[in-house]
Amino acid sequence: MKTFKQILKMCIGVAVLVFAVWVFVQALQSENLENGDLRDWRAAGLGRRTVTAQLMIASDENLDLLVKCVDKMATEPGSAKRSVRDAISLCYTGILVNQNNYSQSE
């Protein structure tokens, strides 16, 4: 009976350890918004979206406009599978082109 209890405790300990590793891996995967899709973008909070956009463009310039642009893209029908990286690149390129056109017209 004593051996059975030791084996049972060991099995429970291993199961808890495996569960903890699984939770850790899932948490790491869910925090990677840069490589996620726009479905993940909509589920993230505003602060997390802002930090992700700031990290990807490495600038604070037009950050609010960029986040609003990606938010708008995320609400479009059929855009859930588009990657966040592609959406941020597209919005940032559009902002730069708009600034370039505006500065040339002056």
* CA distances in angstroms from 46 to 24, 42, 60, listed in the order given: 24, 9, 15
What secondary structure letter does DSSP report for 35? T
- The Cα–Cα gap between 79 and 61 comes to 25
Task: Per residue of the chain (106 residues), give pLDDT as tens.
Answer: 888 888 888 999 999 999 888 888 777 666 678 888 888 888 888 988 898 899 888 888 889 999 999 999 999 888 878 889 999 999 999 999 998 887 776 6
